[in-house]
Amino acid sequence: MAMTSFETTTRERIDALADSLTPAERTPDADRFLRALRDTSPTTIRQAPAAAQRALARTKNPDIGLGQLVQVVEEDPTLGQALLRYANSAYYSTGSVVVSLRQAAQRVGASGVHNVVLGVMLEGMLCRPGGEFQAMVDQVRSHLVRTAPIARAISRSFGVPADEAFSLALLHDAGKLIVFDLVGTLRHDLRRDLSISRDVMSRVLKDVHETLGGMAVVHWGLGEHVAEIIATHHRATPPTTPNTMSELLFVAERAEHAISGVIPMDLEQWWKDGQITTPIDRVRDILTNYSATDLAA
């Protein structure tokens, strides 16, 4: 899916949603919001801070050395603190606590530092849309940080790198953050809360967040391959060729909803809905035994 396809699909979905609004839902604010969202393009999506962009570019370099990794996090105290937390998490812990950035970078490697940078970047992009929508932002953040360790836990079963699974799970709903960022911008411009029903906002999030996320990922320099996965992770139209990372994100997201009590834990139905090609028996025991306490690992 090319970059122009992300934009075209987003606009088509917004147009269809706008046409479906009832007279009660079609408030001036709803119309204003949908027009602004339809006009969203790569150039209007908020760019990651310059420091985060530099750090992402450096951690993506396969030849980066330990000293350079340490320099990446030394430049930003927030990154340093996040790296120490990540390196001392249950997944990486070896029974001893690391207290130096060099030890932490050595423990998690370049891919681990990359995930730390992504996490800090997304945290920095969380907006304050105000009103009832703030609770929705908090839900999205919680879902992202809870889905990532699940994706990592089942990564081996899907035959994909653990840290790559973690990072894409962190990013998979980035499109929702773009929606809320626009809400915050309009609220700031109008100097009041927006009159948009929660139902309309929920439909917007459901219909357009995948392709908006794809646009953002390309804009942030993370590559079109990653963007394609983010833009299709609900697998309503699965890729023409098997894509194990897309499958993994679909399953990890369903699993987080199930562990949180939102939906039943029904692997057979998930495999059918997502047209998953990875054998179900590879992950059944992992997900069946997974619990909410594991999400903090």
Helix (H, G, I), strand (E, B) or coil at 89: coil
Predicted confidence band at 294 (pLDDT cuts at 50, 70, 90)?
Answer: low
Supply the pLDDT for residue 1: 45
Residue 59 pLDDT > 60: yes
pLDDT digits (tens, 9 = 90+) for 148-172: 999 999 999 999 999 999 999 999 9
Take residue 85 and report the two structure tokens written for it.
């937390």
pLDDT at 263 over 90: yes
pLDDT at position 296 is 47
Q: How confident is the model at residue 240 (pLDDT cuts 50, 70, 90)?
A: low
DSSP tag of 280: G
Q: What is the mean pLDDT of residues 26-53?
A: 86
Tokens of 265: 């834990």
pTM of the predicted structure, to 2 decimals: 0.88
Asked if pLDDT for residue 35 goes beyond 90, the answer is: yes
Read off the amino acid at residue 79.
Answer: L
Give percent above pLDDT 70 in the chain: 95
Cα–Cα dist 212/256, whole Å: 22
| Coil/strand/helix, residue 126 | coil
Domains of the chain: 3-39+127-296 (1.10.3210), 44-125 (no CATH)
Under the banding of pLDDT at 50, 70 and 90, the label for residue 2 is very low
Rounded Cα distance, 203 and 209, in Å: 10
